[in-house]
Chain A
């Protein structure tokens, strides 16, 4: 497979840009020649004198080009090599990395704090409901609100499917087509 356009984004990683800036008298200077051009294949004599079509007739060409290309791309992943950083670049990288970790831990702490606040307020509300009887509740009202708050009927039956909509920047006004029939 010839080098195609798909290799293009990886070239700047490997290609040195300063070749032209080297002095012409530099001893180390070498011309850039691809290996495939410099090593021309030596063509051996054919094993059999029967023509190619006849020789292939019995087997048939079974190789699907799609499978061939899938095999090629499975074994030739376009993953660039891992970063190799010089000392100061590594330190810069490390500094930015620490800052990013710090930022993420702050975000995580903020999310957990908001959940904790919610939990604490729910707990305080339920506690108030539990102790509300001391304020003169009588008869069937004793513990009624607390019982209703603790009722878990239907909670484990799941949530309606309309609930599961990912948040978007611009949600549709009518997000769920309730009138849909087959």
Chain B
């Protein structure tokens, strides 16, 4: 409320203060994506120029100058905005690369160097490389594998021009595991924290509390999801908001996993670890946390009275990595400090 008033007030007062003193022939702040920003850079510093002489200072009357101007000067704001939609490679207006601050995809940062990331780069990655190194003599050629998508072989005339058959043992093609080298060491790429709150269908307070808690523990704004169809046995109703998700990237991942491994997981009573059968065989491993475990997160614990205790949700945590199978992903997570138990399924 106060912020909104402040903004309008600030806009009017800023406009009042605005006294543009530079006029140029071409419109200010106009820059094409294709033009070189270095051209805008001044070659010499303005600090090295001598101050204006006394005559100029005496004769300078900004009020008269402003009054004599017919039209308002264009603002000196930097007005380049990246196009909202990509119109194809042949369109003259191309978006800047995502690393450019003017891009819509630009993410500033990183603003911190998490301990877990430092540990990964200095210790875990070299150790994983050493552990999983498999030697192939120079000149060794990998024996060719059978066709992954098989052809239809037979006398039936319908086999002609038919799309290839799917792979054996499943409907979809599994990821290929490249040979291990210094570029293919598994790495953490993201974390998805998902919390399903069916009680939110009747009382939206559950949804809001869950969103606030997930947002607090992950440092990421949550997105909400609706039930796609009614499932009577789960008590789901069509098109009702039932869950929240936070997708973590970059430094948030390391901060979140660091908290999880160092603070939260050691405090769970009788916890055996993550099930060895977890994983989608493409490098992502999921496990769940009970509501009382979610309350162990330091952000929740210091502020426990703020949340209604019955509304604290449990959550599912999916850890994404560049590993291409469960075995590699599990080894990476174990080296980070997440234990596994039971039968290991690859």
Residue ranges of A at the interface with B (Cβ–Cβ < 8 Å): 1-3, 7, 10-11, 14-16, 18-19, 22, 28-30, 32, 34-36, 64, 66-67, 69-71, 73-74, 76-78, 81, 84-87, 89-91, 93-94, 97, 101, 111-112, 114-116, 118-119, 122-123, 126-127, 130, 149-150, 152, 155-156, 158-159, 161, 163-168
Contact = CB atoms under 8 A, between A and B. Distances in A.
Given A16-B10, A119-B182, A159 B331 contact: yes
Given A10-B3, A14-B10, A159-B335, A167 B16 contact: no
A166 B77 contact: no
A87 B126 CA distance: 45
Interface in B250-279: 258, 261-262
Main secondary structure of the interface of B (DSSP, over half): helix
Contact of B137 (A67, A115, A130, A167): A130
A69 B336 contact: no
Contacts of A86: 76-78
Nearest to B222: A74
A155 B327 CA distance: 10
A97 B77 contact: no
Contacts of B77: 84-87
B340 interface: yes
Contacts of B116: 166
Contacts of A166: 115-116, 119, 258, 261-262
A126 B138 CA distance: 11
Contacts of A149: 135
Interface in B1-38: 1-3, 5-10, 12-14, 16-17, 28-29, 37
B118 interface: yes
Main secondary structure of the interface of A (DSSP, over half): helix
A90 B76 CA distance: 11
Given A64-B205, A156-B327, A158-B334, 12 more contacts: A66-B306, A69-B306, A70-B306, A74-B215, A87-B28, A101-B99, A118-B130, A161-B334, A164-B335, A166-B258, A167-B115, A167-B119
B78 A3 contact: no
B6 A15 contact: yes
Given A14-B6, A74-B212, A115 B16 contact: no
Contact of A111 (B5, B121, B209, B211): B121
A84 B78 contact: yes
Interface of B: 1-3, 5-10, 12-14, 16-17, 28-29, 37, 40-41, 76-78, 99, 101, 115-116, 118-119, 121-123, 125-126, 129-135, 137-138, 181-183, 185, 205, 208-209, 211-212, 215, 221, 258, 261-262, 305-308, 311, 327, 330-331, 334-340
- B16, B78, B131: which has the most chain A beta carbons within 10 Å? B78
Contacts of B10: 14-16
A76 B129 CA distance: 47
Contact of A11 (B6, B40, B209, B331): B6
Contacts of B3: 3, 7, 10, 14, 76, 78
